[in-house]
């Protein structure tokens, strides 16, 4: 099983008890984000033909840049994707929206001790991650999906 | 593009958000929200949604996902907060039973 699949499975396992602790719920939310993060990293580095270099390439991803790119892809005004298959565009926007949402939740879960998590509140990010995995699988071969991956890694010129 | 929250017409945002809230089904007990900043300093909308206990099986992630998406989607597609104000909408959910135990003023 791929690492990102294991992370998603772990996130779900951490929340499936009614008496899950705050530590477990917070870890679950954080892990759901990292499941999607590592899915996108893995899908990007798969395009690098020299297998021995893929892990090093994967270390180059920057969470802030990935957020800015995903914000842009989620916004139809900035990225209208005119002429593209609407179902592919919807799937790509869902993945990008999910990335931004999960990253925001991960920061709260990891750093804001003032927020109390419930089983439902922690379950939603995991459900979103699960749907994002499915959405990505449906669109991953499309050119706009592959262009999204490249943009997640490469900082645009100023 | 970074837009400081002080430059966002919050009255216009509130009016538009309230319109979308009115379209939600009876499974939604109440929605509270505020404009804030995310970890990067970008402005964002933070929604706190309280659901009826009967609306969702919290142990079933497929049920959780369906209900959450049904509520989140109108805030992306009808409200269009990213396009109109550069605000990304973030959502947190509790059941009414969960909130009754916590009595969190931000959710009441």
* Cβ neighbours of B104 in A, within 8 Å: 116
What ipTM was estimated for this complex? 0.92
CATH 3.30.300.30 is right for the domain spanning B5-107? yes
Confidence band, pLDDT 50/70/90 cuts, at residue B5: low
pTM: 0.94
**Interchain pair A123, B61: CB under 8 A:** yes
Task: Provide the phi-psi class of B103: left if phi over 0, else alpha when psi is between -120 and 50, else beta.
Answer: left
Q: Tokens at residue A33, please?
A: 């984000």
Query: A18 falls in which pLDDT band (50, 70, 90)?
Result: confident
3-class DSSP state of B57: coil
Distances (CA, A) of A106 to A34, A50, A125, B38: 9, 32, 9, 11
What sign has the CA pseudo-torsion A69, B90, A10, B55?
negative
Compare all CA atoms of chain B with the CA of A69 and give the residue at the minimum distance.
B1
Cβ-based neighbours of A136, under 8 Å, separated by 6 or more = A39, A40, A43, A91, A95, A145
> What is the structure's pLDDT at B16?
97
* Domain range list for chain A: 3-153
> Which tokens in the block code for residue A52?
């021995």
Give the DSSP letter string of chain A.
--HHHHHHHHHHHHHSSTT--HHHHHHHHHHHHHHHHHHHHHHHHTT-S-GGGHHHHHTT--HHHHHHHHHHHH-TTT---TTS-HHHHHHHHHHHHHHHHHHHHHHHHHH-TTPPP-HHHHHHHHHHHHHHHHHHHHHTTSHHHHHHHHHHHSPPP-
pLDDT at B3: 55
pLDDT for residue A134 is more than 70: yes
Cβ count near B93 (within 10 Å)? 27
> To the nearest whole number, what is the mean pLDDT of chain A?
96
- Residue in B51, B58, B62 nearest the CB of A119: B58
A79-97 pLDDT, tens digit each: 999 999 999 999 999 999 9
CA–CA min distance A49, chain B (Å): 34
**Residue ranges of the domains in chain B?**
5-107
The pLDDT value recorded for residue A158 is 57
Torsion of CA B10, B15, B17, B20, to 10 degrees: -170
CA dihedral A32, A109, B58, B63 (to 10 degrees): -40
Mean pLDDT of chain B: 93
pLDDT band of B8, cuts 50, 70, 90: confident
Task: Please give, rounded to a whole number of angstroms, the shortest distance from the CA of B93 to a CA of chain A.
Answer: 5
Q: CB count, 10 Å around CB of A97?
A: 23
- pLDDT, tens digit, 9 for 90 and up, residues B44-60: 999 999 999 999 999 99
Rounded to an integer, the average pLDDT of A55-68 is 95
């Amino acid at each position: 099983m791929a690492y990102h699949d294991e992370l998603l499975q772990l996130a779900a396992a951490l929340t499936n008890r009614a008496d899950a602790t705050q530590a477990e719920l917070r870890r679950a939310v954080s892990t759901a984000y990292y499941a999607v993060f590592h899915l996108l990293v893995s899908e990007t580095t798969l395009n690098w033909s020299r297998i021995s270099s893929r892990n090093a390439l994967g270390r180059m991803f920057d969470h802030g840049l990935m957020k800015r790119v995903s914000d842009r892809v989620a916004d139809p005004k900035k990225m209208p994707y005119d002429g593209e298959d609407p179902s592919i565009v919807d799937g790509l926007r869902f993945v990008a929206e999910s990335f931004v949402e999960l990253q925001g939740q991960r920061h709260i879960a990891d750093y804001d001790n003032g927020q109390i998590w419930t089983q439902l509140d922690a379950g939603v990010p995991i459900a979103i991650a699960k749907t994002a995995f499915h959405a990505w699988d449906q669109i991953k071969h499309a050119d706009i999906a592959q262009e999204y991956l490249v943009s997640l890694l490469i900082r645009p010129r100023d | 593009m970074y837009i400081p929250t002080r430059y966002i017409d919050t009255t216009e945002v509130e009016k538009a958000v309230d319109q979308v809230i009115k379209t939600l089904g009876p499974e939604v007990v109440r929605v509270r929200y505020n404009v804030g900043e995310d970890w990067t300093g970008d402005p964002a909308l933070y929604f706190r949604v309280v659901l009826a206990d009967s609306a969702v099986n919290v142990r079933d992630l497929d049920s959780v996902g369906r209900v959450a998406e049904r509520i989140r989607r109108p805030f992306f597609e009808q409200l269009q907060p990213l396009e109109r104000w550069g605000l990304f909408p973030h959502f947190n959910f509790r059941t009414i039973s969960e909130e009754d135990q916590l009595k969190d003023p931000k959710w009441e």
